[in-house]
Structure formats: structure tokens, C-alpha cells
Chains A and B, each alone.
Chain A
Amino acid sequence: MRDNPTLARKLLSVVCVALLSWYLDWHPPIIHDLHESVPILYTFSGQAPQNPTLDPILFGELPWFANFEMAQMTRYGMPGVWTHAFVDAWSPGYLGFMASNHNGMLRMYETFGNAGATTMKRKIEGESELSRDMASRQWYRPLPPHKEVEWSMRNNTNYMETGVLSALQLAAAFPKVILENFYRKSLNAVAAGRKGPPFGYVIPAGQQDMTRVALVVGVLQTRGIEVGQAATEIKAKEGNFPAGSFIVKLDQPYGRLAKILLEKQAFPDPNLRTYDDTGWTMGIRGSQSPCATREGPCFRCRRSTVSDRC
């Protein structure tokens, strides 16, 4: 399915919310995401910048699968399959990131596409800014494509299907590793939240515009993140927060995603490019930003889980 990354990021489409709901019910360890933009098949390996809040295991899994798919398709004599050198792993935006944001893993391809069903002559380089230097041999593209090809949607589908079957072949060969990785990443997420700081975030009650707070809490809940509400005042080094304030503890399986959405983004290197870093710092959407707390014990206050969807 072709996703819309920007909609997936903020769950602004009904389809994205339905898919996420399905994911959180069934927990498939891998989601596959098929796109069209560049020749001939780029398989997502997660180059820099990588989001350091996500589990390091993920950044081992991504090139593991990408390299296998490239090796298989190169073996089948399918030129123009490559890894790295395209999408970074900073933004949590693609639809497939629903899995990697929740301790699973994603596969994602970019393929050449076609303007219609007709077979046509296509130039590998020069059709768009994105396709510059796509016919060169590189360490990440050992079998470069021909400079000009007779291309149809059938070719495109063949490439995607062969890639997907290769990914399934690898998944079928190592099911226990993939499942154990999923378990380990979830366990690590809870441990990372206990290690802190921060140990969690407080979204203060009594803000001028609580509808904004409700929007943020609702997005967190829809993503499966547990949110609590303090029954008494919270006393922390960072300040005192009134009863009714929302608490997002990070020692939970999806605590890493909660941190990514609530913290201020500290982009690692301005010389690196990113696909997109717009609009997913959800915390600052409240009229008062959530407060990261360096004190775990402050969350021992009496609290209830927010069960109603905001």
C-alpha cells in the first residue's frame, strides 16, 4: 500500500489510524511499505542520522535485511538494487515506522514507478533531481542499472515482488531471531525508562487551552502509549504540578516512542540532511509544554490510568 508519510506521522487519516489499531492488536514484527520515486529499487537500510532513542538492535536489523534483499536480487541478475544513500532514520514518519516505533521492524522500498500502464523508454538518470547519479556503480549498488530501459508497471511490480519474497525468505529462515529481537527491544524499552533521566513527562493540568492537551494525549493513546492522571499534586525538582496533571512514564514498552514525541528534537548534525523533521514534536503543541522529569520517585503519587480516549 502506498502510504502518506506525513499523514501517518500524525495519524491524520482514518486509514492510518485503522492500520495502527490493527498493528497494536496483532503485533506483526515487520511491516512492509512500498513506495515509488527513484530507480530501480532502493531498499531501506536506515542511514544517518539515526534516531538514538530507538533501540540499537533496530539499526542492525535494517541493513541485515536490506543487504540480503540486494544480494538475492543481484544474484537473480536484477540490476539497480541498492541500499543506504537515500532515506535517513531520523524521522518516525513512514507508515512502516508504525512497526519500528513499537519495537518491531520495517521494510521499505522505493521503486522506479511509471507514468501509466504503457511500456515506455525511460532514462535512469536525469528525469528528476532525485534520479541524479542513479546509474553509477557504488559500494551500496554493486550492480548498477542500464542507463536507458524499456519499462512498464509490470517491471516495477516484478522488482517489488522479488524484493518482498526475498525479505519473506529471510524472515522465514530466522523467525526466532526476529521474534526474540521484538521481545528484547520491548524489554530494553522498559529498562531504558527505568534508567532515565528523563523518567517521564508531566503534562500540567489547568492549562489555558486544554483542547490542545487533549489532542496530544489522544495521539499518545492512539499509538498505544499508556497515560496516567495524578490524583494528588506531583512534587518534583522541576516544580509542583496540580492533581489532574497527565503522567507519561517512560518505563513502558512504547516509552521510547513517547520520548520521541514529547522531547525537544536535538538534531545531531546540521550538515546531515533529513527526509523530514516537521510536525512531530507533539509536546510543544500544548499551550504549556510537557515537563521532562529527572526524578522517578515523583511518579509514586496516586494516579489512575486514562482509559477514555481523549
Chain B
Amino acid sequence: MRFTGTEKSVLSGLMKNPSEIKERPAILDVPAGRGRVIMFATNPCYRWQNHGEFNMLFNAILNYNDLPVR
């Protein structure tokens, strides 16, 4: 998953230079040993505030077994 970047990606509030992250990785699925690591570029549970991202976090935790084998 990549960042949309640009001003269109800011629904509300402040984001400095949003174009700098355009097309850069937002979430990475990386093989590590016998497992996989799901890495978020942002903190998906930052101070319990960004509820919109919680679903992505819980999806990764609860459905880890369904990640495609590579």
C-alpha cells in the first residue's frame, strides 16, 4: 500500500509537504525468516487517536494466517 500524497490526501488539518510522500510505501509486507513482518510507515494506533487506521492494524493482527504465502 502506498501513500496517495498530494493535497487531495489531506481530509482535514495539517500535513506539511504531502507531495513528498506520494507513491512512497505506507504499509509493507516483508518476508523475515519463516514469517512475515507487516510494517506501517505511520503509527497506526498513535495515542489512540487515529481510529480510521485501527482497522488496518487489527486486520493485520487478526487475519495474519490469511496472508498469501510467498
B11 beta carbon closer than 8 Å to chain A: yes
Chain A contact residues: helix, strand, loop or mixed? loop
Chain A residue with the shortest CB-CB distance to B46: A278
**With a CB–CB cut-off of 8 A, which chain B residues contact A7?**
48
A239 beta carbon closer than 8 Å to chain B: no
B34 beta carbon closer than 8 Å to chain A: no
Is there an interface contact between A6 and B47, defined as CB atoms closer than 8 Å?
yes
**With a CB–CB cut-off of 8 A, which chain A residues contact B16?**
270
**With a CB–CB cut-off of 8 A, which chain B residues contact A277?**
13-14
Is there an interface contact between A274 and B14, defined as CB atoms closer than 8 Å?
yes
**48-69 of chain B: CB within 8 A of chain A:** 48-52
With A and B bound together, what is the CA distance between A66 and B16 in angstroms?
31
With A and B bound together, what is the CA distance between A270 and B7 in angstroms?
12
Task: For the complex, count residues of A whose C-beta is within 8 A of B.
Answer: 16
**With a CB–CB cut-off of 8 A, which chain B residues contact A278?**
13, 46-47, 49-50
Chain B contact residues: helix, strand, loop or mixed? loop
A284 beta carbon closer than 8 Å to chain B: yes
Task: For the complex, count residues of B whose C-beta is within 8 A of A.
Answer: 12
B13 contacts which of A9, A12, A265, A285 (Cβ < 8 Å)? A265
With A and B bound together, what is the CA distance between A267 and B51 in angstroms?
21
A6 contacts which of B12, B13, B14, B48 (Cβ < 8 Å)? B48
**How many Å from the CB of B14 to the closest CB on chain A?**
4
Is there an interface contact between B49 and A6, defined as CB atoms closer than 8 Å?
yes
B51 contacts which of A265, A270, A285 (Cβ < 8 Å)? A285
With A and B bound together, what is the CA distance between A277 and B16 in angstroms?
12
With A and B bound together, what is the CA distance between A60 and B51 in angstroms?
35
Is there an interface contact between A284 and B48, defined as CB atoms closer than 8 Å?
no
Is there an interface contact between B13 and A281, defined as CB atoms closer than 8 Å?
yes
Chain A residue with the shortest CB-CB distance to B18: A270
With A and B bound together, what is the CA distance between A162 and B51 in angstroms?
40
Chain A residue with the shortest CB-CB distance to B49: A279
**With a CB–CB cut-off of 8 A, which chain A residues contact B13?**
265, 267, 277-278, 281
Besides the known contacts A264-B12, A270-B16, 10 further A-B residue pairs in the complex with CB atoms under 8 A apart: A6-B49, A12-B48, A264-B11, A265-B14, A274-B14, A278-B46, A279-B47, A279-B51, A281-B13, A284-B11
- Which 9 residue pairs are nearest across A and B when measured between Cβ atoms? A279-B49, A267-B14, A281-B12, A6-B47, A265-B13, A277-B13, A265-B12, A264-B12, A278-B49
30 A/B residue pairs, CB under 8 Å, sorted by A: A6-B47, A6-B48, A7-B48, A9-B49, A10-B48, A10-B49, A12-B48, A264-B11, A264-B12, A265-B12, A265-B13, A265-B14, A267-B13, A267-B14, A270-B16, A274-B14, A277-B13, A277-B14, A278-B13, A278-B46, A278-B47, A278-B50, A279-B49, A279-B50, A279-B51, A281-B11, A281-B12, A284-B12, A285-B51, A285-B52
B residues neighboring A (CB under 8 Å): 11-14, 16, 46-52
